[in-house]
Amino acid sequence: MNDPLKNLKSSMEKSIFKDFSFSNERKNAVRETIRTNQQAQFHIETIIAILESVQYESKDGYNISVQLFQKDERTFQKNEGQLYTLLHLLENKEILTSNWLNNKKYYSLNSKGKKYLATYKKDTDKQGLSLNPFITEASL
């Protein structure tokens, strides 16, 4: 699994924080706190709602959040930053693609994302959808 904070760590190593570090015990405590606070934060239905929102046209994060709100999906209502975390994760997992236009990042569904969405719609018991690893990773 790729380290999503690789670039940040690299940047910090080259900056004034190069001698700053946390003990493994502290790192594990922080991870556990985050995991406890966010466990089961994202549901498959939330991810599917995001995929559906960019199914036919590219959208920026704000318009995705508006569409989710209109669908009565309130997961990100008080913490919009988590939406961007999930969007970046889906982009890193090559389910979404993005491009910049007029200083906004637009997300769109690629072929892998279309397969996930088609599998979800076709599979009535939702057993064929393997998004659980993404949900777990996003909750860390």
Higher pLDDT, 102 or 39: 102
What confidence tens digit (pLDDT) does each residue in 75-85 have? Answer: 787 778 888 88
Q: What is the per-residue pLDDT for 5?
A: 75
What confidence tens digit (pLDDT) does each residue in 94-115 have? Answer: 899 999 999 999 999 999 889 8
Q: All domains of the chain, ordered by start, with CATH?
A: 42-138 (1.10.10.10)
The span from the CA of 61 to the CA of 79, in Å, is 13
- In terms of Cα–Cα distance, which of 36, 27, 29 is closest to 5? 27
The span from the CA of 67 to the CA of 30, in Å, is 33
The span from the CA of 43 to the CA of 31, in Å, is 20
At 101, the amino acid letter reads: L
Q: Whole-structure pTM over 0.85, yes or no?
A: no
